[in-house]
Structure 1
Amino acid sequence: MKMKRSRSLSPKASSSEEDMKRVKFEESEKTNDIITHPHVLDFSDDVLLNILKYLNPKDLMTISLSCQRLAQIVQDKTLWRRVDFRAAPILLNDLKEYIKFLQPITISLAIRGDLYCENDTELSLCFFNCIKTTCIQLKELIIEEYCINGDEIQITDFPRTIEKLSLEGCKIEHLRSNKSYFFRMNFHMPNLTCLILSNCQWFTPHSLLVISKMPKLKELRLNSCHRLGECVAYTSLATRFGFKTLEILDLRDTALGDSEVGCFSCTKTLTHLYLECPSSLRNAESSDELRPLQREALNQLPVYEDGNLAQFFVEDGFRWENYMFGRCLITDRAICALGSDTCDRIINNSAEEVIVVEGDKRIFNNPHLKTLVVRNYPHVTNSSLVHLALNASSLEHLDVSGTSVTRQGVETFKSQRPNVKIVTSFDET
């Protein structure tokens, strides 16, 4: 007898058992989802610190407002060792909230304001006092596009521990006419190695005398300081008796000429020199076109830091107009003063009118010059290339874009100095 097999050996599950299985399955899915997608607060403090160190200070301040635990972690001193608030301009009213996060371990602070903002952008003495009190190990201070009252805030109000100071784009008002703003800076900041004064229209050449006395200064950036060429006498004195450790010098977009660059050729430690003609002067073909600019400069009397120096020039009939903007284009004469030079030197002049000459005597002006940038000067020609090929033995990078060097002159330079990277206006470099 054949019997039919039962479809199921177990009784049908009740509805309550199915509900239990469904609940357990959903709980298991939630557990797996938590494991694969954990919440940020599930991490340990050490892990959160490693994540937060990749955020900028402004984002850290925002995160600190989210919950109490993150607020405590954000206060960790390791996150505030180097502080850069330049992602967006900071108004003075908000600056007080920012500096609350600074720590004694903070070694670098960078802030940026907005000179074109309608609100007041003048830094207060309280700000500098707070930095000196809190950041006792501060080595780098970068202040950009703020106003500073030179009558209330002196250079001695800055932290004395600074090794790098930048006032790029800042405006200093109420400056004294008889004293440089950097007076006694060499005593107050003896460890300063880098000074950046880019686009500081208040900077005048008489301040070079004070800056040149800095005992450890290696980098000086004065690009876009348009008043720098008002008086070559200060440049001459500063370079002759100072700048004993200067290595990097940025003079781009300044109205300097052969005389000033020739003065800096006396700086034997110089390794990087950057020169570029201002855009307002690039189309000037002759000195006649510079006369309106000359007359405008002559209306601004030079600032004298040393009364004796000023009296000497006046009594000696010194003509300031010869050193204003009349000769602000760099030529081969300035470039040929760099590197080493060869000349004949008289070593004996006897009574019998016999002159003994020692030939091939080398004068090392910048024996370690590695980088030279000289852009957009039409009076720089192949003569500069010939001189540099023979006398700049340490040169590694040369930029002569916008000059009057020829393709043939560049090829000749390359054949003589194949290890030097040269940048020109030609397609093939």
Structure 2
Amino acid sequence: MYLGHTIQALGSLLPSSTGPVDCPGDEASRCSSGLLTMHLTQLNRECLLHLFSFLDKDGRLTLSLTCRRLREVFLDPRLWSLLHFSSPCQLRKDNFVLGPSLRCLSICWYSSRVQQVCNIEDWLKTSFQKDICSKHEKLVSTFLTHVCHMCPNLLSLTLSGCAHITDQDVISVLQCCKRLRRLHLENCVRITDCCLQGVGALGDSLREVKVDFCRNITQAGLQSCKVMRPAVRLSAERSADMIPDIQPEEKPPLRKSLQKLLQLS
């Protein structure tokens, strides 16, 4: 819905004038039709927050640059109870506000680069691939550190395609956001059973945990987590059935090595 439509809908809720309206000076011509006009900034804070809620992050930022009053609305933490990012690069923008009102956070990166570069083990990457990863490798981890310090009331966290996040990143969120109820990790290749151990030790408020397509999650890790947190709805689509990463010095069987090579090709 466009902002103009929202303002129009809001105007329809205002009581219409049935009698004559006293219009001083130059306002008389605008009031001759019986319509009362008002400036956007004359709306109270609650109405402005409602209007801002219909805009995306870029739209909110653009509107906030028009005057000080709208900038104050943009910076109101209540406006930012939900944040969604479609790529880690969006975390660099200054078009959002982190605060205690944040309840739901999702960072989802559905990109071929994730499969072709980020998901490859470090010891298999070429220097060119390592250079690509270096430009965004710490983005999500650094952002989650800010979330830990500024968003203690977070209830839901979704990380999809964030190939560079580690077990410690998720454990830090569990330590600082003690009200977290939903944790969904998808295609995060560095997540291992240590993350599930953190869920068992720190997830007092968790009600649902998903670790889908995380190839370094094992069946033993899932079973251990279920024992520690029987009340948590735990699911792991394909994770325990995928071939885990194996360090070169471990000398994996030839059959598994060929399967791994076919997956990467």
2:204 equivalent in structure 1: 190
| SS state at 1:29 partner | helix
> Which segments of 5 or more consecutive residues in structure 2 lack a partner in the other structure?
1-23, 114-131, 244-252, 259-265
- Would the alpha carbon gap of residues 99 and 155 (structure 1) be closer, same or farther in structure 2, given more than 3 Å must change? farther
Q: How many residues align structurally?
A: 204
Contact 2:83 2:102 in 1 (8 A): no
Give yes or no for contact 1:142–1:167 (8 Å, CA) kept in 2. Answer: yes
Counterpart residue number, 1:277: none
Which structure's residues are more often helix, by fraction? 2
The alignment status of 1:220 with 2:219, answered yes or no, reads no
CA contact (8 A) 2:88 2:140 kept: no
Q: 1:26 to 1:135 in 2, by over 3 A?
A: closer
Q: Kindly indicate whether the alpha-carbon contact (under 8 Å) linking 1:163 and 1:194 is maintained by their aligned counterparts in 2.
A: yes
- Aligned residue for 1:104, secondary structure, equals coil
Cα distance per residue 1:153-185 (max 9 Å; x no partner): 3542223312211112x3323x67xx6442343
For residue 171 of structure 1, what is the aligned residue in structure 2? 188
Q: CA RMSD in A?
A: 3.7
Q: Please tell me whether residue 91 in structure 1 is matched to residue 88 in structure 2.
A: yes
Aligned to 1:293: none
For residues 262-285 of structure 1, what are the alpha-carbon distances to aligned partners after superposition, in whole Å with 9 as ceiling and x for unaligned?
xxxxxxxxxxxxxxxxxxxxxxxx
Q: Which of the two has higher C-alpha Rg? A: 1
The change in CA–CA distance for 1:91 and 1:29 in structure 2 (over 3 A counts) is same
TM-score by length of 1: 0.40
- With over 3 angstroms needed to count, the CA separation of the structure-2 counterparts of 1:154 and 1:72, relative to structure 1, is closer
Partner of 2:158 in structure 1?
142
1:129 CA displacement: 1.9
Cα deviation digits, residues 354-410 of structure 1 (max 9, x gap): xxxxxxxxxxxxxxxxxxxxxxxxxxxxxxxxxxxxxxxxxxxxxxxxxxxxxxxxx
1:276-296 Cα distance to aligned partner (Å, 9 max, x none):
xxxxxxxxxxxxxxxxxxxx9
C-alpha spacing 1:76/1:41, structure 2 compared with 1 (3 Å): same
Aligned to 2:116: none
What letter is aligned with 2:84? F
- Counterpart CA distance in 2 for 1:147 and 1:229 is 16
After superposition, what is the alpha-carbon deviation per residue over 1:56-115, rounded to whole angstroms, capped at 9, x for unaligned?
4453334323332111012222212x21324xx2333x4144596011232222222344
Deviation at 1:197, TM superposition (A): 2.1
The separation in 2 between residues aligned to 1:112 and 1:91, in whole angstroms, is 8
Give the whole-Å Cα distance in 2 for the aligned partners of 1:50 and 1:193: 30
- Tell me if structure 1 keeps the 8 A contact 2:211–2:239: no
Counterpart mapping for 1:333-352 below 5 A: none
Summarize deviations over 1:226-264 as a string: whole Å, max 9, x none. Answer: 64278xxxxxxxxxxxxxxxxxxxxxxxxxxxxxxxxxx
Q: Which structure has greater strand proportion?
A: 1
Compute the displacement of 1:187 (Å): 0.9
TM-score by length of 2: 0.61
**2:103 equivalent among 97, 107, 119:** 107
Percent of aligned pairs with the same amino acid? 18
Q: Distance in 2 between matches of 1:90 and 1:126?
A: 14
Matches within 5 A, 1:241-320: 299=256
Partner of residue 46, structure 2: 46
